[in-house]
């Protein structure tokens, strides 16, 4: 069941015409400032505003006719929910989405806008996986989790496949990490296409379970971390993603929230790209100077752009 580069190639064919081939942005200012050549893969411009549409469409378009008729259930704090809601709409598949009651309102409203049935739960008291599994068995729905699924991982890997296909060899690739679906898919693709490309996973400092798991080689968890990177508040890497991260990822680093927000605003101002906090994790690590990038060709996945603008009053002080 562990996905391979062949599965990413297959996913790339599967999503053609449905997902956008997103642009790659560059900035002379950033290149001059870092002494590197930095390529930003703009998944904030992907359909539904994040790379998650890639995995969601890859998974749902492979449903059997019977599975399509019965529908899909998933749990997500936001972007995977929107992606499943939209992919299901495109494919005509009924979809039930289990979301935390404190998920950003923009993400809940967008999910409902794509025609998903949203069921809210209390993050502190209830287990979203258990709710998802119960709905799956009660209603005959197929569960498609946000990251620990071979079709999801393979779909997410297509962003890096496109990036390397477009810009050529990279020395380093910075990838935001929550449950590790994007990171493991990216790392499989990078290793297959450019064996010398080092892939770096980036987490918010408060949710550093993946970095600790990577260092100790034992799965570590974190409970409901407080961070503006709401797309990376996952409790741990998955049973599929963790071994892939250990096998293919060169290092895991973390970024604190003030640095993350500062980078996010910098991307808005310099690149004119609206990126959400989680989406700026890779850029924050690349620009922080803690991992040397001078003289290198560096890829950065800007993973999403679904900003909750109601948070601006609290965030703007970090600009
Ligand atoms: C989901 C998400 C991530 C993390 O992806 P995982 O596959 O869970 O590691 C990063 N950035 C954004 C914008 C996301 O929506």
Of 143, 169, 193, the domain-final residue = 143
Q: Based on the fold, state whether residues 229 and 283 are members of the same structural domain.
A: yes
Question: Do 41 and 71 have their domain in common?
Answer: no
**Dihedrals φ, ψ of 315, to 5°?**
-85, -30
Whether the CB-CB separation of 256 and 288 falls below 8 Å is answered with: no
Q: What is the pLDDT of residue 108?
A: 86
Residues 108 and 251 in one domain: no
Q: How far is the CA of 169 from the centre of ligand 1 (A)?
A: 24
> How many other C-beta atoms can be found within 10 angstroms of the C-beta atom of residue 273?
21
293: Cβ contacts below 8 Å, ≥ 6 apart:
34, 35, 36, 38, 172, 286
**Ligand 1: centre distance to CA 130 (Å):** 21
Per-residue pLDDT, 103? 81
Q: Choose, from 77, 186, 213, 236, the residue flagged as catalytic.
A: 77
Our answer on whether the CB atom of 315 is closer than 6 Å to any ligand 1 atom is: no
- In a shared domain, residues 161 and 31: yes
For the question of residue 52 being annotated catalytic, the response is yes
State whether 10 and 139 are in the same domain. Answer: no
| pLDDT, position 22 | 98
- Does 231 contact ligand 1 (Cβ within 6 A)? yes
CB atoms within 10 A of CB 35: 11
Per-residue pLDDT, 102: 84
304 lines ligand 1 (CB under 6 A): yes
pLDDT of residue 126: 87
Residues 11 and 77 in one domain: no
Q: What is the pLDDT of residue 127?
A: 86
pTM score, two decimals? 0.97
Same domain, residue pair 113 and 247: no
Same domain (yes/no): 155, 123? no
Domain boundary residue, one of 143, 163, 185? 143
Which CATH number belongs to the domain containing residue 137 in this structure?
3.40.50.1100
Tokens 């209830």 map to which residue? Answer: 126
Residue 132 and residue 113 share a domain: yes
- Residue 284 CA to residue 87 CA, distance in Å, equals 30
State the greatest distance between any 2 C-alpha atoms of the chain, in Å, as a whole number.
Answer: 57
Distances in Å between the Cα of 180 and the Cα atoms of 235, 271, 287, 307 are 11, 26, 21, 21
Evaluate: CB of 34 within 6 angstroms of ligand 1. no
Among 123, 143, 163, identify where a domain stops.
143
Question: Can you give the pLDDT at residue 124?
Answer: 83
Q: What is the helix, strand, coil percentage profile of the chain, to 5?
A: 50, 15, 35
Domain that holds residue 139: 53-143
pLDDT by 10s per residue, the chain, length 319:
899 999 999 999 999 999 999 999 999 999 999 999 999 999 999 999 999 999 999 999 999 999 999 999 999 868 999 999 999 999 999 999 999 888 878 888 989 999 999 999 998 888 888 999 999 999 999 999 999 999 999 999 999 999 999 999 999 999 999 999 999 999 999 999 999 999 999 999 999 999 999 999 999 999 989 999 999 999 999 999 999 999 999 999 999 999 999 999 999 999 999 999 999 999 999 999 999 999 999 999 999 999 999 999 999 999 9
Number of folded domains that form the chain: 2
In terms of domains, do 165 and 39 share one? yes
Euclidean distance between the first and the last CA atom of the chain, given in angstroms as a whole number: 44
Q: Is residue 76 flagged as an active site residue?
A: no
The answer on 301 and 281 residing in a single domain is: yes
Task: Indicate if 219 and 281 belong to the same structural domain.
Answer: yes
Give the closest residue (by CA) to ligand 1 atom 2: 231
């Amino acid at each position: 069941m562990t996905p391979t580069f062949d599965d990413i190639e297959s996913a790339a064919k599967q999503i053609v015409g449905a997902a956008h081939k997103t642009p790659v942005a560059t900035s002379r200012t950033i290149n001059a400032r870092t002494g590197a050549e930095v390529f930003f893969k703009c998944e904030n411009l992907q359909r539904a505003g994040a790379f998650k549409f890639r995995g969601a469409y890859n998974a749902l378009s492979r449903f059997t006719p019977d599975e399509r008729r019965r529908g899909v259930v998933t749990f997500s704090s936001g972007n995977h929910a929107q992606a499943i809601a939209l992919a299901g709409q495109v494919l005509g598949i009924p979809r039930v989405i289990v979301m935390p009651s404190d998920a950003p309102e923009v993400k809940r409203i967008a999910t409902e806008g794509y025609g998903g049935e949203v069921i809210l739960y209390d993050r502190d008291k209830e287990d979203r996986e258990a709710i998802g599994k119960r709905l799956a068995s009660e209603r005959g729905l197929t569960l498609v989790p946000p990251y620990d699924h071979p079709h999801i991982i393979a779909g997410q890997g297509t962003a890096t496949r496109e990036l390397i296909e477009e810009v050529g060899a990279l020395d380093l690739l910075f990838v935001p990490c929550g449950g590790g679906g994007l990171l493991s898919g990216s790392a499989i693709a990078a290793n297959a296409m450019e064996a010398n490309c080092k892939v770096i996973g980036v987490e918010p400092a408060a949710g550093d379970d993946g970095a600790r798991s990577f260092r100790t080689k034992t799965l570590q968890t974190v409970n409901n971390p407080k961070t503006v990177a709401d797309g990376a508040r996952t409790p741990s890497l998955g049973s599929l993603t963790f071994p892939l991260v250990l096998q293919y990822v060169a290092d895991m680093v973390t970024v604190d929230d003030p640095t993350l927000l500062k980078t996010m605003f910098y991307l808005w101002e310099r690149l004119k790209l609206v990126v959400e906090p989680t989406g700026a994790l890779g850029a924050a690590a690349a620009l922080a100077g803690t991992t040397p990038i001078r003289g290198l060709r560096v890829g950065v996945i800007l993973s999403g752009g679904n900003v909750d603008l109601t948070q601006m009053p609290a965030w703007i002080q970090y600009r």
